[in-house]
């Protein structure tokens, strides 16, 4: 990560080095020694954001004050006009205002009577009372106000309030001391060793999941075993007193972006290659990602228990990508393992710790935390839930954080063993509750001073994104995309991605954006988890986007509105199909052979489990009809749980060909017994359509 020196940043922000050093401490708990100290560019960016916000706030305040002052001046001149005899005095008053000396020090006790304060300020009492009202304090002439209120008021008049027992010199001294203290602490502050964060990559079916599971099972003590079923996107294991954090990334290898995202937080990659299969396309992809991110790799040659295992072939193939195994004179560590027999696992873990040692991974546990979101979802009972990885500092329950464009105060933290915890140090994964919205996987988080700061920053980030979208949207649709490109009307295809889990949304988003060519930019303007809703459709309508659903479906309202507004919704179960379609649309070759026609939807109202038969659902047909030969998909909260065919369709005891809207029916689904009350069963048929003429 690139760094920046304090004095450079101070210069850019037009503040003193000392001020910046104390702000750094206050905002992030980051201890900087002097103007030559370096800080992460990411922290610098956040500080800049903060200053921008403060400037904006100050400008707004100034505007209000100016308005208020001009009103007062108006009142004064009215008064002058009313009573010409008083003209002289009025003028004098006005002159006093102009002469106002800022930075005047007003000494006072813990409390002060409004009238006395006005005297000290050399302001008319009315003006002081008005200013107090403006501050939200109703006070009469003889009322006492406390120091805090008075301080704010004095400040708004451009002067400084100090408590009587202190004098200005003391205050300056106090500030000096504070900075000295920071500097002292800084010299003491030491970054300490942190556990490595490891991501497992490799071709599909080479055993990534099995390997992660095997490590989890072999290294987690019995007492923790209950909790570790808890999936929070990452887990830590203890290897002879050294901790290792594994990212439990979703296993879909098409998600190259997941890897890229993984690499951002990853210190070491375990590249799994099946000993019987060798290097495959996604292995190569993983190698390239690691190289680009300069993340060291350890090769786990898996499935060594298989007879057909040929580790030498794997090593041979690796050389083609510049990876020469250590035993062949190179510096690539290759560890033969078997996720099934657990052979070589200890060796692999040892290699990780040795590698980590060499990387000298360090973090400062005392600063305020920052890190990355690994996964996030909306939980019905608990609200937005995010699994995050602390990368520096210590995250504490009650901390206020900004995460991407959302924010919150941490209500609860749950560790990877399912236990509630109060603090999470460097490299620790935790699940957090208390965010205002669901963040996106890969979003960075930072702890800030208070919730208000977090909220303001989140809002201003959102506003920025909104403006960016607004400026660049162009109306397009998938069907006419090619023509529009040819006519030069379109330079951009905007897409909204909705998916069943955050990881997929993020991955689909990035894969889609990679389809951009020199002629057409493909841009995902919104990517989120959940069913396609009316809101998505209106966003698509407003920004001329198409909607892509990945393992999710539109709800009824969305369908109606989309039809009305001619918004295109495409749903897919396989990422490649989505990518292919978009690619074809871009080159004008979109030729769907089949079109899906939804026949109707019904809702499961009662579920019966019958031995030897399976699950029968008593349903009510909401719209259209359900036919015996239709295909069905089961939707739970708009998410596709399964796709199958009907195994039976009955009305009362009789088999029927179809059940129409408004009627009840009983049905069972081929190879699916997990129907729950409230599930929606959508019936559809695939209608053949003629290929389009080019
Ligand atoms: P992933 O797609 O890379 O996550 O691969 P999985 O972990 O799902 O494994 C794919 C298949 O390989 C599964 O059928 C596993 O049982 C099998 N497998 C994984 N590791 C081993 C191993 O060490 N030995 C053998 N014989 N099979 C394995």
| Residue 207 in contact with ligand 1 by CB distance below 6 A | yes
- Please give the angle made by the CA atoms of 239, 269 and 439, to the nearest 5 degrees: 95
Say whether 650 counts as a known binding-site residue.
Answer: no
Alpha carbons within 13 angstroms on the beta-carbon side of residue 354 total 9
Percent of the chain with pLDDT over 70: 80
Tokens of 204: 């599909």
Quick one: DSSP state of residue 252? Answer: -
Which segment of 29-38, 92-101, 340-349, 649-658 scores lowest on mean pLDDT?
Answer: 92-101
What does the pLDDT average to over 608-633?
90
pLDDT category of residue 255 using cuts at 50, 70 and 90: very low
- How close is the Cα of 340 to the center of ligand 1, in Å? 8
CA distance 95 to 41: 49
Q: Do 685 and 628 meet the contact criterion of CB atoms below 8 Å apart?
A: no
611 Cβ partners below 8 Å, 6+ apart? none
526 is in an annotated binding site: no
User: Is the pLDDT confidence value at 178 over 70?
Assistant: no
CATH number given to 195-360:
3.40.50.300
**Does any ligand 1 atom lie closer than 6 A to the CB of residue 601?**
no
For residue 94 and ligand 1, the question of a CB distance below 6 A is answered with: no
Q: How far does the centroid of ligand 1 lie from the alpha carbon of residue 374, in Å?
A: 24
In 429-484, the DSSP E strands lie at 429-435, 444-448
How far apart CA 265 and CA 442 sit, in angstroms, is: 9
What six digits make up the tokens of 114? 């409004």
Q: Which atom of ligand 1 is nearest to the CA of 203?
A: 3
Share of the chain residues as helix, strand and coil, in percent rounded to the nearest 5: 40, 30, 30
User: How far, in Å, from the CA of 306 to the mean position of ligand 1?
Assistant: 11
Q: Is 343 in the pocket of ligand 1 (CB under 6 A)?
A: no
Do the annotations mark residue 251 as ligand-binding?
A: yes
Among 564, 563, 537, 538, smallest CA distance to 548 is for 537
pLDDT at 78 over 50: yes
Does the pLDDT of residue 219 top 80, yes or no? Answer: no
d(CA 247, CA 250): 9
Confidence of residue 28 (pLDDT cuts 50, 70, 90): confident
Which residue's CA lies nearest to atom 24 of ligand 1?
303
For 248, counting Cβ atoms within 10 Å of its Cβ (0-12 exposed, 13-18 middle, 19+ buried), the class is: buried
297 to each of 198, 243, 437, 572, how far by Cα in Å?
10, 18, 35, 34
Select from 210, 246, 270, 272 the residue to mutate for testing ligand 1; criterion: most ligand atoms less than 8 Å from CB. 210
CA-nearest residue for atom 20, ligand 1, is: 207
In the numeric block, which tokens belong to residue 353?
A: 């710790």
Q: Give 518-571 as a 3 state SS string.
A: CCCEEEEEEEEECCECHHHHHHHHHHCEEEEEECECECHHHHHHHHHHCCCEEE
For ligand 1, whether the C-beta of 271 sits within 6 Å is no
625 labelled binding-site residue? no
Residue 303 known to bind ligand? yes
Does pLDDT of 224 surpass 70?
Answer: no
Fold that domain 1-97 belongs to in CATH:
Arc Repressor Mutant, subunit A (1.10.10)
Residue 176 confidence (pLDDT):
43
Question: Whole-angstrom Cα distance, residue 85 to residue 88?
Answer: 7
Residue 127 has pLDDT above 80, yes or no: yes
b/e per residue 422-459 (b: at least 16 CB within 10 A): eebbbbbbbbbbbbbbbbbbbbbbbbbbebebbbbbbe
Which of ligand 1's atoms lies nearest the C-alpha of 272?
A: 3
Q: What is the rounded average pLDDT for all residues in the chain? A: 80
Q: Does the beta carbon of 338 lie inside 6 Å of ligand 1?
A: yes
- Most confident of the ranges 17-31, 267-281, 567-581: 267-281
Provide the pLDDT for residue 97.
Answer: 41
What is the predicted pLDDT for the residue at 264? 62
For residues 532 and 627, give the distance between their C-alpha atoms in angstroms, rounded to a whole number.
25
Please identify, in words, the CATH class of the domain defined by 370-469. mainly beta
Nearest Cα residue to 633 out of 587, 669, 657, 583: 669
C-beta of residue 378 within 8 angstroms of C-beta of residue 384: yes
Spatial separation of the C-alpha atoms in residues 423 and 201, rounded to whole Å: 30
Check if the beta carbon of residue 299 is closer than 8 Å to that of residue 271.
Answer: yes
- DSSP, collapsed to helix, strand or coil, labels residue 93 as helix
Residue with more model confidence, 626 or 518: 626
pLDDT at 26 (0 to 100):
78
Ligand 1 neighbour 429 (Cβ under 6 A): no
Please list, in sequence order, all residues whose beta carbon lies within 8 angstroms of the beta carbon of residue 337, skipping any fewer than 6 positions away: 211, 300, 301, 302, 304, 343, 344, 345, 347, 348
pLDDT of residue 221: 59
Using the mean position of ligand 1's atoms as its centre, give its distance from the Cα of residue 196 in Å.
25
pLDDT category at 266 given cuts 50, 70, 90 is: confident
Can you tell me the mean pLDDT for 245-259? Answer: 52
- Domain map of the chain by residue range? 1-97, 105-166, 195-360, 370-469, 481-590, 595-688
pLDDT digits (tens, 9 = 90+) for 433-485: 999 988 877 788 989 888 888 888 888 877 776 665 544 344 456 666 777 67
Q: How far is CA 14 from CA 41, 55, 62, 176, 179, in A?
A: 17, 12, 19, 20, 19
| Cα 321 to middle of ligand 1, angstroms | 24
- Average pLDDT of span 213-229: 67
Give the helix/strand (H/E) hosting 227. helix 222-228
Token match 């659903």: residue? 549
User: Among the listed ranges 152-166, 200-214, 254-268, 633-647, which one has the minimum average pLDDT value?
Assistant: 254-268
How far is the centre of ligand 1, averaged over its atoms, from the C-alpha of 316 (Å)? 22
Query: To test the ligand 1 pocket, which listed residue (248, 336, 338, 339) has its Cβ within 8 A of the most ligand atoms?
Result: 339
In which residue are the tokens 């236990």 written? 419
683 is in an annotated binding site: no
Cα 246 to middle of ligand 1, angstroms = 18
Say whether 195-360 and 1-97 share the same fold: no
pLDDT band with cut points at 50, 70 and 90 for residue 368: confident
Report residue 132's pLDDT band, with 50, 70 and 90 as the boundaries: confident
Residue 15 CA to chain centroid, in angstroms?
A: 31
Separation of 315 CA from ligand 1 center, angstroms?
20
**Residue range 526-533: mean pLDDT, rounded:** 82
Residue nearest atom 10 of ligand 1, based on CA coordinates: 205
Pick the CATH number of 595-688 from 2.40.30.10, 1.20.1260.10, 3.40.50.1000, 2.60.40.1930: 2.40.30.10
- Supply the residue whose CA is at minimum distance from atom 2 of ligand 1: 205
**Contact call for residues 37 and 6 (beta carbons, < 8 A):** yes
Question: Of 265, 279, 263, whose CA–CA distance to 322 is shortest?
Answer: 279
For residue 88, name the pLDDT band (cuts at 50, 70, 90): very low
Helix (H, G, I), strand (E, B) or coil at 315: helix
204 ligand 1 Cβ < 6 A: yes
What tens digit of pLDDT does each residue of 381-429 get?
888 999 999 998 999 999 999 998 899 999 999 998 888 999 999 999 9
Q: Is 516 exposed, middle or buried (0-12, 13-18, 19+ CB in 10 A)?
A: middle
State if residue 303 touches ligand 1 by the CB under 6 angstroms criterion: yes
481-590 is classed CATH 3.40.50.10050: yes
- Token output for 250: 């979703």
What is the residue with the minimal CA distance to atom 9 of ligand 1? 207
pLDDT digit string, tens, across residues 337-366: 999 999 999 999 999 999 999 999 999 898
């Amino acid at each position: 990560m690139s760094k920046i020196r304090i004095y450079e940043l101070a210069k850019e922000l037009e503040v003193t080095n000392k001020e910046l050093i104390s702000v750094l401490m206050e905002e992030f708990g980051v201890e900087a020694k002097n103007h030559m100290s370096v800080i992460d560019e990411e922290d610098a960016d956040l500080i800049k954001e903060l200053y921008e916000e403060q400037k904006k706030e100050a400008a707004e305040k100034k505007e209000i004050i100016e308005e208020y002052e001009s009103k007062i001046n108006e009142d004064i001149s009215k008064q002058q006009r009313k009573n010409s005899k008083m003209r002289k005095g009025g003028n004098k008053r006005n002159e006093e205002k102009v002469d106002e000396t800022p930075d005047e020090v007003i000494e006072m006790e813990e409390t002060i009577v409004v009238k006395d304060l006005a005297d000290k300020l050399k302001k008319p009492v009315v003006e002081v009372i008005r200013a107090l009202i403006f501050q939200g304090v109703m006070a009469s002439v003889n009322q006492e106000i406390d120091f805090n209120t008075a301080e704010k008021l004095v400040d708004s008049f451009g002067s400084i309030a100090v408590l009587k027992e202190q004098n200005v010199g003391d205050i300056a001294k106090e500030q000096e001391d504070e900075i000295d203290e920071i500097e002292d602490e800084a010299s003491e502050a030491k970054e300490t060793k942190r556990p490595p964060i490891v991501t497992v990559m490799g071709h599909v079916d080479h055993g990534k999941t099995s390997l992660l599971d095997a490590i989890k099972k072999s290294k987690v003590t019995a007492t923790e075993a209950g909790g570790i079923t808890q999936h929070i996107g990452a887990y830590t294991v203890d290897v002879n007193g050294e901790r290792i954090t594994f990212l439990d990334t979703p296993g879909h290898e098409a998600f190259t972006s997941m890897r890229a995202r993984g690499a951002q937080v990853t210190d070491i990659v375990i590249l799994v290659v099946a000993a019987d299969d060798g290097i495959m396309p996604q292995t190569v992809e993983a190698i390239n990602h690691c190289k680009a991110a300069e993340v060291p790799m350890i090769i786990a040659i898996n499935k060594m228990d298989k007879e057909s295992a040929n580790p030498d072939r794997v090593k041979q193939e690796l050389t083609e990508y510049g990876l020469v195994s250590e035993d062949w004179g190179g510096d690539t560590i290759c560890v033969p393992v078997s996720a099934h027999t657990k052979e070589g696992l200890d060796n692999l873990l040892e290699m990780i710790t040795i590698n980590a040692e060499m990387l000298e991974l360090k973090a400062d546990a005392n600063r305020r935390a920052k890190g990355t979101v690994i996964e996030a979802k909306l939980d019905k009972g608990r609200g937005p839930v995010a699994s995050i990885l602390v990368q520096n500092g210590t995250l504490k329950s009650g901390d206020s954080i900004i995460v991407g464009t959302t924010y919150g105060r941490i209500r609860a933290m749950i560790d990877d063993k399912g236990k509630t915890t109060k603090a999470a140090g460097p490299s620790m994964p935790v699940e957090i509750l208390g965010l205002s919205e669901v963040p996106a996987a890969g979003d960075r988080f930072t702890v800030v001073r208070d919730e208000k700061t977090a909220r303001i920053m989140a809002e201003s980030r959102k506003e920025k994104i909104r403006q960016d979208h607004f400026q660049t949207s162009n109306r397009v649709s998938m069907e006419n995309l090619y023509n529009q490109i040819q006519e030069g009307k379109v330079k951009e295809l905007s897409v909204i991605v909705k998916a069943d889990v955050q990881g997929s949304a993020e991955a689909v988003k990035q894969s889609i954006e990679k389809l951009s060519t020199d002629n057409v930019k493909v841009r995902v303007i919104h990517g989120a988890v959940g069913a396609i809703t009316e809101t998505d459709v209106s966003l698509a309508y407003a920004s001329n986007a198409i909607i892509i659903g990945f393992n999710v479906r539109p709800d009824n309202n969305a369908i109606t509105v989309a039809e009305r507004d001619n918004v295109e919704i495409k749903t897919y179960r396989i990422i490649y199909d989505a990518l292919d379609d978009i690619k074809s649309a871009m080159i004008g070759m979109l030729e769907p052979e089949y079109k899906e026609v939804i026949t109707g939807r019904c809702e499961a109202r009662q579920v019966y489990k019958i031995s030897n038969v399976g699950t029968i659902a008593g349903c009510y047909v909401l719209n259209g009809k359900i036919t015996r030969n239709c295909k069905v998909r089961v939707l739970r909260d708009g998410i596709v749980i399964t796709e199958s065919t009907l195994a039976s369709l009955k009305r009362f005891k009789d088999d029927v060909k179809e059940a129409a809207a408004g009627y009840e029916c009983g049905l069972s689904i081929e190879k699916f017994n997990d129907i729950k009350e409230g599930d929606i069963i959508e019936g559809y048929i695939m209608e053949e359509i003629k290929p389009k003429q080019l």
